[in-house]
Amino acid sequence: MEAKRRNTLTRLTTWIVSCVTLTLRLASPSFADSEEGARQEVVTFTLNQAVTLALAVHPEVLAVREKTEEFGQLVREARAEALPQLDAVLTWRKTRDPGLRNSPFFTRFAAGGDDDQQIPAEAFDAFFFTNYLWNIEVSQPIFTFGRVSNAMNAAREERGGVNLDVQGIENRVSYDTVRAAYAFLLAQHNLRVLETESESRQRQLDQVQVRFELQDATKLDLLRAQVTLANLKPEILAADNNLQVALALVNNTLGRPIDAPIEVLAELTRPDPIPNVMRAEALLEIAGQYRPELRRFAIDRKVLDARVGITKSALLPQIRATAGFGVNTFGAANVTDLALHTWNAGVVFDWRIFDGHRTHSQVAGLRSQRTQSEYDERAFKNALSVSLKQAHGTWTRALEALEVTLLTVDQAREAERVAEESLTWGAATTLDVLQATLSLRQAELNRTTAAHDGLVALAEMKYLVGFKADAPNSTIEAPLVIALAETDVDEGSEP
């Protein structure tokens, strides 16, 4: 009886502890987060929608867009030097004056003379007085020898350069987004292929197991099927990890939670129709017109030229008109008495004749920066030409590889079907089936990889030329007349 009571008490205690544990688990933030993640819906978007979202939330894009507002204010700042300057001055000053003690004839005064001419002793004491002054001063530049105009030109050009910076960063972010989306699709397809192959190998293992039990297959056939299936698991784990990394890259670009599920509405297939991409040399010419980084070099040199004019103006005369009006009095009650007003008006001519060659040194430095900009532009063009040739070559090679892999996939799929049917009738071995399955998997991976490389190369060429990666393919296509002419030349006929 005592043992039964003890068992009942133990079960009751266990039930209470389980209820408390479950309650704490449900109330914990980690459980709430996991439930929220389970309920999180899959976000579906196209490549264009992904680029639009990335450009709306990416920190680099937002930061450089904010700079356009900053440089817009710099134009107003430069214009301010040509406008009147109005200052209001209010002064209160307490002064101690030593009086006649500060006179060079103090000793003569102290010696005295006739009684009628003798100065009272208190005249030699220091005295105090208070001065009240308010004044309104106006200054208007008349002629600055190009200082203001060059400053405004530099600010305007720099604002245009910042707009090019915005375009350049937007193009790069769009390319990163498209490339990350294609990488996600590739990782997703590779995992799907491996999972399909795993299912196929599991079926083959089951068949071999049945045949082994019927003594129609050897122990070696069974072990070979088991090892082949086991070897596929590390590859599936690696493919799943690649998919999670690709998912994190896409979400990071879009400003979403890293593990948020997504679905990209795009396929890793050959574009239809296939774009007739221009040659690398023609793409380089277009890049000279549209690539923001290339156009930025010219603007930088214009800004440097304007800065040279600003610097040179330091050694040129500056002419400005000044005027002032106010009241200067010794009594606070007279501050508003305009009868005690003072005024002034004039023209100031300021010319710095020599500054120790400081201005000449600054001008030489700016001209050196301009020369450096020309060298940098030349180096950028050379690197751009190499990148365009590489991307164009990748695109051409991917198209050729895609044509071959499409046939290879059909051949490998048919070979696998024949091998599986032959195995059923005993006309093939498990090794034949495994080799056919492996060939099919490799063919499908090659096809997807070729399509991925081609699409990424196509997006890269758009980015290198100066467009967004999701721009229409027509932006880098050769005109129809040129395309027909090149075709006629290749065939040996006159264009």
pLDDT at 122: 67
Are 346 and 357 members of one domain? no
Helix 147-213 to helix 47-57 angle (10° resolution) is 130
Closest Cα to residue 457, out of 318, 283, 330, 328?
Answer: 283
Q: How sure is the predictor about 329, in pLDDT bands with cuts at 50, 70 and 90?
A: confident
Residue 21 lies inside a defined structural domain of this protein: no
95: CATH? 2.20.200
Are 158 and 221 members of one domain? yes
Query: What tokens does 149 get?
Result: 């105009």
Are 474 and 344 members of one domain? no
Are 419 and 283 members of one domain? yes
pLDDT at 487: 43
Which position has the higher pLDDT, 86 or 99? 86
Q: CB atoms < 10 A from the CB of 304, how many? A: 20
d(CA 276, CA 395): 11
Are 395 and 474 members of one domain? yes
Amino acid present at 391: A
Are 424 and 449 members of one domain? yes
Residue 266 lies inside a defined structural domain of this protein: yes
427: CATH? 1.20.1600.10
Rounded to an integer, the average pLDDT of 268-294 is: 91
Q: Are 239 and 192 in contact (CB under 8 A)?
A: no
Query: What tokens does 489 get?
Result: 């030349």
Are 276 and 339 members of one domain? no
Residue 36 lies inside a defined structural domain of this protein: no
Segments forming the whole domain that contains residue 306: 47-82+144-316+351-488
Q: How sure is the predictor about 15, in pLDDT bands with cuts at 50, 70 and 90?
A: very low
Rounded to an integer, the average pLDDT of 477-483 is: 59
Query: What tokens does 227 get?
Result: 């090892």
Domain boundary among 308, 328, 350: 350
Q: Whole-model pTM?
A: 0.74
Handedness of CA 167, 169, 175, 180 (dihedral sign): negative
Are 325 and 439 members of one domain? no
| 206-258 pLDDT, tens digit each | 878 887 888 877 888 888 888 888 988 999 999 999 999 999 999 998 888 88
Q: CB atoms < 10 A from the CB of 198, how many? A: 15
Task: Say how many domains are in the chain.
Answer: 2
Answer whether residue 112 shows pLDDT above 70: no
Q: How sure is the predictor about 148, in pLDDT bands with cuts at 50, 70 and 90?
A: confident
d(CA 252, CA 81): 45
List the beta strands (DSSP E) in 398-450.
none
Are 311 and 411 members of one domain? yes
Query: What tokens does 193 get?
Result: 């292929």
Rounded to an integer, the average pLDDT of 99-126 is: 61
* Residue written as token pair 């005592």: 2
| 355-405 pLDDT, tens digit each | 888 889 999 999 999 999 999 999 999 999 999 999 999 999 999 988 888
Query: What tokens does 164 get?
Result: 């090019």
Are 101 and 189 members of one domain? no
Rounded to an integer, the average pLDDT of 269-294 is: 91
Query: What tokens does 446 get?
Result: 């090659």
pLDDT at 185: 93
From residue 5, how far is each of 11, 19, 437 by CA, in Å? Answer: 10, 21, 64
pLDDT at 4: 47
CA angle 415, 419, 421 (to 5 degrees): 120
Tell me what percent of the chain is helix, strand and coil, each rounded to the nearest 5: 70, 10, 20
pLDDT at 341: 86
**Residue positions counted in the chain:** 495
pLDDT at 289: 92
Q: Are 432 and 423 in contact (CB under 8 A)?
A: yes
Residue 123 lies inside a defined structural domain of this protein: no
Helix, strand, or coil (residue 263):
strand
Which residues have a Cβ under 8 Å from the Cβ of 444 and sit 6 or more positions away? 193, 409, 412
pLDDT at 38: 42
d(CA 384, CA 379): 8
Q: Are 328 and 133 in contact (CB under 8 A)?
A: yes
d(CA 54, CA 292): 19
Are 401 and 261 members of one domain? yes
pLDDT at 11: 53
